[in-house]
Structure 1
């Protein structure tokens, strides 16, 4: 993003430590980032990112929702085999379609398509992707590459800007 405004919440100000004693907790539990992103064409669009450690009824649930002018999509790890899409034509109906997805990993595994893809499968797929990219470099047959050191640096820059934005209660430019 080119800039962001962050709202951070420290919901649980105290927690139990390993010995069972109540101790202060300075970890941010929930965060909402309102950002402006600039495309290569120069078009600017809004982006909202949220992370919530304190979210009753959720257990490590991730969501992604993309709303465009002609196409929209929604996905959640709460229903990992379901993809919702909406194709829109001006003047037409806005109807969400629900597609049940099968399981097919990039790298062959003992888990077959009729079984549930789980956490261990995800870890093995990430390890295989890393090995593939190390062995084949940019020519690796990946749908997208592994996280790079530059992407890690940019993520750190965003998180640092979020802390500054919340502390100063203002929108912060990303350097």
Structure 2
């Protein structure tokens, strides 16, 4: 872990991403968590790697996924220890169905690479749904906008900054 929120990261270093800049502009306190990302064993996913390398509860580390409802793309934020329930996500945004968005579309619209997609600071704004399990924690981690960088933030602050909703969209 390094760095605290409300700090300006004007040096364009590890902490300066669109995600951290959005939190700074909103005046939200956050922490930066850095770890050495490895491509060697990505079978379980980037978020699981982050939880393991940071020594954190995987239910407290969240991944950002983009889905397509047929009318719009939406963002689901769920614990890395589980999966996103696409039917529940669709219901949460008033859609009939949802399918995972193509990774190329997710990268283009978010402005981030797969494994570093943050719900914060995305190039194109989308409806966002945070799994309600996040609300049991004082701090959750989401991608900081690049592989090897996570942002620790209060889930209520995350909901406020993103104008997100919460719903039971994660499965275990």
User: What TM-score results when the alignment is normalised by the length of structure 2?
Assistant: 0.25
TM-score, normalized by length of structure 1?
0.25
* Structure whose alpha-carbon radius of gyration is higher: 1
